[in-house]
Amino acid sequence: MQSVVVLGATGSVGVNTLDVLARHRDRFRVLALTAHGNHERLLEQCLTHRPDYAVMVQADAARKLEARLQDAGLPTRVLAGTDGLATVASLEEADIVMAAIVGAAGLLPTLAAVRAGKRVLLANKEALVMCGALFMRTVQESGAELLPIDSEHNAIFQCLPTAYRPGQALSGVRSITLTASGGPFRGWAADALEDVTPEQACQHPTWSMGRKISVDSATLMNKGLELIEAGWLFGVEPHRLRVVLHPESIVHSMVEFEDSSVIAQLGQPDMRTPIASGLAWPERLDAGVDSLDPVSMGALHFEAPDREAFPCLRLAETAMTAGGGMPAVLNAANEVAVADFLAGRAGFGDIPRAVEAALEAFDGAPAGDLENTLALDAEVRAWMDGTGGRGTERETGP
């Protein structure tokens, strides 16, 4: 019986993880669940899965959850704040940690799990985008087992030899191709994108995801962040990584080897498949996902992304090539810009403009240790909040 901690339990990946775990109660037990502020949803999950620990980042939400759990007679111990996240991520009795907190907020608890030597199922790409070198070095030093859960990176991992683990040198690989659905606006001209609404941007054609990731998919920033993540996970230089649009979302990624063989992973667009793969690896278990019928799925289509209409992909590629602290700048600026868009404070087209302004303002930001990375992240966010990403010159260096 393996004990599992789910960081970000109320998000889409967390919900899907609990679905898979519930199908295999003879094999897994839920040790801890965490959420930011949705105490009602976490209460429901605690009543169903009866974890030993529950964490709410918001202190008020933690008090409300604790009172409700006591009323229900559940002995679940409730912790609060970011310290609570790190505590449950590194519990001695934890075997597996699902790192599914969205954005920069997931960095510290994910690192805590890595430092504790856990099997870490990485669905938080921002941890690698912000400080990939530090993160991967910590994986090697701690002996943690890092398994990618993003559908594209899990697909790449499945295409590689069974003995391979992220962080090891790749042998015989010529290139890696990440597929992207293209989001709800694939094929749209740049001027048509100016007036789209948050509701339109969150209507993903093939995947069911949270609002922030849905917007990132619509701008193609999600794919840009995934390129950076892939570079760190698999030690691949930027020129050996590419993106193709694949609207059916059946082929999740492809690996080309030196002999020109190409191995691809296919499956339904359902996150339970990569989640089950990470939980059971190197074995397999039922994920509750329908089988893929090659006859009924029909033709598969592939096309090049439009970097003019969707400049976020180009901006991510620029940050990846620049290296240093620039991916962290990219991520922080994008998180603020997307939050502004979802709150109605900015338009869809303002997202890439704000991110580009931040990259120009923070050009040459160096990579640093964890403290310096967090400081850079905070500085970029403060700059974005102060200028709206309109390109005002910075007063201080990174």
CATH number at residue 365: 1.10.1740.10
Handedness of CA 21, 23, 29, 31 (dihedral sign): positive
Please indicate, yes or no, if residue 8 is contained in any of the structural domains: yes
The count of domains in the chain is 3
Edge to edge, what strands does the sheet with 262-266 contain?
A: 241-245, 173-180, 251-257, 262-266
pLDDT at 398 over 80: no
Nearest to 187 by CA among 156, 161, 218, 231: 218
Q: Does 77 reside within a domain?
A: yes
pLDDT band at 205 (very low <50, low <70, confident <90, very high): confident
pLDDT at res. 208: 67
Residue 392 has pLDDT above 70, yes or no: no
Burial class (CB within 10 angstroms; exposed 0-12, middle 13-18, buried 19+) of 263:
middle
Domain-located, residue 171: yes
Both 114 and 245 in one domain: the answer is no
Q: pLDDT tens-digit profile of 84-138?
A: 999 999 999 999 999 999 888 899 999 999 999 999 999 999 999 999 999 999 9
At residue 397, does pLDDT exceed 60? no
> Do 34 and 9 touch, CB atoms closer than 8 A?
yes
Beta strand 251-257 pairing with 262-266:
antiparallel
Query: Do 123 and 169 belong together in one domain?
Result: no
pLDDT at 226 over 50: yes
32, 52 contact by CB (below 8 A): yes
Domain annotation covers residue 291: no
Of 7-11, 166-170, 195-199, 307-311, give the lowest mean pLDDT range.
166-170
175-202: per-residue pLDDT in tens?
999 999 998 999 899 888 998 999 999 8
Q: Percent of the chain having pLDDT more than 70?
A: 96
| Percentage of the residues of the chain whose pLDDT score is greater than 90 | 84
Cα–Cα distance, 269 to 339 (Å, whole number): 26
Per-residue confidence (pLDDT) for residue 356, from 0 to 100: 97
Whether residue 272 contacts residue 280, with contact meaning beta carbons closer than 8 Å, is answered with no
Nearest to 265 by CA among 235, 237, 292: 292
pLDDT attached to residue 155: 97
The yes-or-no verdict on residue 396 having pLDDT over 70 is: no
Rounded distance, CA 229 to CA 112, Å?
19
pLDDT tens column, 145-162:
999 999 999 999 999 998
What average pLDDT does the segment 4-19 reach?
Answer: 96
In a domain? residue 211 = yes
Q: Mean per-residue pLDDT for 36-52?
A: 96
Q: Alpha carbon of 116 to those of 89, 97, 126, 323: distances in Å? A: 8, 10, 20, 28
Does residue 119 share a domain with residue 36? yes
Confirm whether 243 is domain-assigned. yes
Evaluate whether residue 340 is within a structural domain: yes
282 cis-preceded (ω within 30 degrees of 0): yes
Number of neighbours of residue 235 by Cβ within 10 angstroms: 15
| Cα–Cα distance measured from residue 232 to residue 228, given in angstroms and rounded to the nearest whole number | 7
Q: Span 32-38, mean pLDDT? A: 96
Q: What does the pLDDT look like over 230-269, one tens digit per residue? A: 999 999 999 999 999 999 999 999 999 999 999 999 999 9
Q: Are residues 346 and 268 in the same domain?
A: no
Q: Is the pLDDT of residue 10 over 70?
A: yes
Strands in 96-99's sheet, in edge-to-edge order, are 77-80, 53-56, 28-35, 2-7, 96-99, 119-122, 145-148
Domain holding 260, by residue range, is 159-280
On whether both 136 and 19 belong to a single domain, the answer is: yes
> Which tokens in the block code for residue 128?
């690698």
Structure tokens at 62: 């933690």
